[in-house]
């Protein structure tokens, strides 16, 4: 039974609407409403379902806690440009750019936090950057 990909994950948050605003504004994710008004954030071929802390949808994690996640997202946009856009939006960069090891190889990453204190990493796959055609004429 080889696992193919991650379809979705769940974040337990203090404010669903605040979280939707942060992730759509800061990271360009799409806000989604499904089921009986449940909220999620869609990006690429995955999504993040949101649970309001204390009002989680069953079944849920044994100890759902806002701020306990550590997530890494990849992008083709250079992380230096991502960091500039985040700073302009009032988001503090905690670390980076730094090199890290990702699931498919080396990454160039920046780190910052969302409203609940979850640690977020946005990264470029270094080999993808090295293989990109040069910019300009």
d(CA 30, CA 24): 6
Catalytic residues, by residue number, are: 121
Q: Is the Cβ–Cβ distance between 93 and 83 less than 8 Å? A: yes
Q: Specify the pTM.
A: 0.90
Tokens of 70: 């550590």
**Tens digits of per-residue pLDDT, 49-93?**
999 999 999 999 999 999 999 999 999 999 999 999 999 999 999
Ordered by where they begin, the domains of the chain are 1-65 (3.10.180.10), 67-137 (3.10.180.10)
**Tens digits of per-residue pLDDT, 2-17?**
999 999 999 999 999 9
d(CA 80, CA 35): 38
- Distances in whole angstroms, Cα of residue 129 to Cα of each of 17, 83, 93, 134, 135: 34, 17, 21, 10, 11
Count of other CB atoms within 10 angstroms of residue 116:
19
């Amino acid at each position: 039974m080889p696992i193919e990909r991650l379809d979705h994950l769940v974040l337990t948050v203090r404010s669903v609407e605040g979280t939707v605003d942060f992730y759509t504004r800061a990271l360009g994710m799409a806000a989604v409403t499904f089921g009986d008004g449940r909220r999620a954030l869609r990006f690429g071929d995955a999504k993040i379902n949101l649970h309001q802390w204390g009002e989680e949808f069953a079944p849920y994690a044994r100890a759902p806690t806002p701020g306990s996640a550590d997530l890494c997202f990849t992008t083709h946009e250079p992380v230096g440009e991502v960091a500039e856009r985040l700073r302009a939006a009032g988001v503090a960069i905690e670390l980076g750019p730094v090199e890290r090891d990702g699931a498919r190889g080396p990454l160039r990453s920046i780190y910052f936090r969302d409203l609940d204190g979850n640690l977020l990493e946005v990264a470029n796959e270094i080999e993808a950057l090295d293989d990109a055609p040069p910019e300009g004429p």
